[in-house]
Structure 1
Amino acid sequence: MVNPFAEAIENEVDELDLVERAKEGDRAALEQLLLRHQAWVFNIAVRMVFQPQDAEEVTQEVLIKIVTRLSTFQGECKFRTWLYRIAVNHVLNMRRRRCEEKTLAFAAYGDAINGTPDLDLPDPNVVPVEIPILVEETKNACTMGMLLCLDRKQRLIFTLGAILGASDTVGAEVLEMTPDNFRQILARARRDLHSFMNNQCGLVNTSNPCRCPKKTRGFIQNGHVDPHNLMFVPRQVQRVRELAAEAVRDIDDLVERQHVEIFREHPFLQPPDQIAWLRRILDDGQVRAALRLN
């Protein structure tokens, strides 16, 4: 899987050929084009709205915009830049989803974690998955929730720049800002997360008492983790760092580098039933009319 946020685009010529064929009504070319980007859009969306179900909805909205506007792409910029401009503008301006309904400050989030009691791990005989998987789900849910304490622009830029590895140049092109501005917002988001985690999270600072295994049963009891419906630990895990480009910017603070790596260790999530999902979108009357699909 090619990372679209890599500095150099390996398959740009091939992708432009797919674009031209899709604009002429070639449905297979359009499906292939969207499949290259669908999971990346989904992974941006899930970090913006937390709930994978909401992220699926956001991703579908983005893909429909891309398809219906494809005829307007004239090659004035890289296709990657054009596509992700649509995606980022959508997630910055979309209606608030369930997990965004209450603006959550880091202090309030810390209070919620501290208010979750430290308990023994669940009885392995009464849960449907192995205990280490539940602890991993707790860790991922908790750190994903931390992203909601950032404002939308910070959250988006941290996702692109720190997690998915977009360089300052690529990130700036997509967000239509200067590389310096992208870099400054990213640094501010990193500092805010680092400050919180260094004072709260035992993963970053071992002097902190908070530990994922201690919080797992409390997260289950409070409804934040559902052993029967895991959100952030797919059965076959592929880590973001395995697919995303290496971070091209230097991070001087080693502790700060450590907290960024926690987010890059998150699973790279795949939207369910990708082909069936895409075909439902492409069967939409508005989409078929926009592209005169064969």
Structure 2
Amino acid sequence: MRTVNPFGQNNYSDQKDLELIHLAVNGNRNSLSKLIENHQQYIFNIALKMVNNIADAEDITQEILIKLVTNLSQYDSTKGRFRTWLYRITFNHFLNIKKQKYETLVTSFDVFFDYIRETPEIQLTQAEEKEMQQEIEESKVSCMAGMLMCLDREQRLIYIVGELFEIDHNLGSEIFNISPANFRKKLSRARNDLYQWMHNKCGLVNTNNPCRCPKKTKGFIANGWVNPEDLKWQSNYQKRIIDFSERNLEETLMTIDDIYAKLYKEHPFKISQKTENIVEKIINNNNLKNTFNLEE
């Protein structure tokens, strides 16, 4: 899996993708495969944060990768950078798909925190808390992922790529087709909306709030939001989002916004099980093989 963040400023090279594109459109199967692999897990992880459902995120990722491949021959490097082109397609897809399951259930912060408030609080013993660390962490990530769903789609997307994946503001403005100043303003508004509710309700940063992940874990399990036998977040990952960070803030220098962001960046960077097969499915599609005249 590629470890270079495509939204960063320092390590990503458009030139490497351009070389793969040149070879791919001339029939090189391995280059097309590599180009897809370079981006598929990032697209999947953004999709997962956008819709909060693994199966839906996998389907969305596949739809986007098919768009990438079928439109690749139309990409013109003289008109813009490849990642701008690719992620404009990707983000437009996120913004225009039909409402997903969790978007119909979590329609506002008020609705979401009513769900949390109505979940019974059950104090764990020290032994239980030690034994249930995975379930407690699953509860924390699930709750924070649910909070993201309270933002509208554009806010959610800008927060995910702007705060979690630290997109360069100039690249962000290109992809969203707005000015850098407007991109920063939208990101700031998304942060403020999310962090204000977290500050008032969540005990992860504001210790004056009564809500604590360990006390809610058994309730989340009873509600079916956490399945100890099939953990959605605490499985199928090798790294966390923060491992792709280009920023290296000292803990003592963190602002309150940095502290909230770090909580989200510590979430797992998931490896999609389904999309591991997408490359072969796409490349072996007869129509696409003919389009690219792919070598056997």
**TM-score, normalising length: structure 2:** 0.91
Q: What aligned pairs does 1:204-283 form with structure 2 within 5 A after superposition?
A: 204-234=205-235, 236-246=237-247, 254-272=255-273, 274-283=275-284
Distance 2:89 2:12 in 1: 21
Q: Provide the residue aligned with 2:173 in structure 1.
A: 172
Deviation at 1:9, TM superposition (A): 5.0
Indicate conservation of the 8 Å contact 1:42/1:271, yes or no. yes
Q: What aligned pairs does 1:52-67 form with structure 2 within 5 A after superposition?
A: 52-67=54-69
Deviation at 1:285, TM superposition (A): 3.5
The runs of 5 or more residues in structure 2 that have no matched partner are none
Distance 1:266 1:214 in 2: 20
Q: Quick check: 1:92 aligned with 2:95?
A: yes
Q: Which amino acid aligns with 2:58?
A: E
Render the CA deviation track for 1:166-192: whole Å, top value 9, x for unaligned: 021111111111111111111011000
Render the CA deviation track for 1:213-260: whole Å, top value 9, x for unaligned: 111111111011111111111255411111133289xxx993232111
Distance 1:270 1:259 in 2: 24
Indicate conservation of the 8 Å contact 2:241/2:268, yes or no. yes
The runs of 5 or more residues in structure 1 that have no matched partner are none
Distance 1:130 1:96 in 2: 37
Indicate conservation of the 8 Å contact 1:165/1:247, yes or no. no
Render the CA deviation track for 1:77-131: whole Å, top value 9, x for unaligned: 1111111111001001011111112452111111110110111449989xxx951
Distance 1:266 1:40 in 2: 14
What is the total number of aligned residue pairs between the two structures? 288
Distance 2:88 2:62 in 1: 16
Q: Which amino acid aligns with 1:40?
A: Y
Render the CA deviation track for 1:184-218: whole Å, top value 9, x for unaligned: 11101100011100011000200000000111111
Indicate conservation of the 8 Å contact 1:85/1:174, yes or no. yes
Distance 1:218 1:176 in 2: 43
Q: Structure 2 residue aligned with 1:34, among 33, 36, 41?
A: 36
Indicate conservation of the 8 Å contact 1:167/1:247, yes or no. no
Indicate conservation of the 8 Å contact 1:6/1:166, yes or no. yes
Q: Which amino acid aligns with 1:233?
A: Q
Distance 1:123 1:56 in 2: 38
Q: SS of 1:238's equivalent? A: strand
Indicate conservation of the 8 Å contact 1:122/1:131, yes or no. no
Distance 2:264 2:294 in 1: 39
Q: SS of 2:294's equivalent? A: coil
CA RMSD, Structure 1 to Structure 2 (Å): 2.3
Q: Which amino acid aligns with 1:43?
A: N
Q: Provide the residue aligned with 2:151 in structure 1.
A: 150
Distance 2:164 2:7 in 1: 11
Indicate conservation of the 8 Å contact 1:22/1:29, yes or no. yes
Q: Quick check: 1:111 aligned with 2:114?
A: yes
**TM-score, normalising length: structure 1:** 0.91
Indicate conservation of the 8 Å contact 2:27/2:292, yes or no. yes
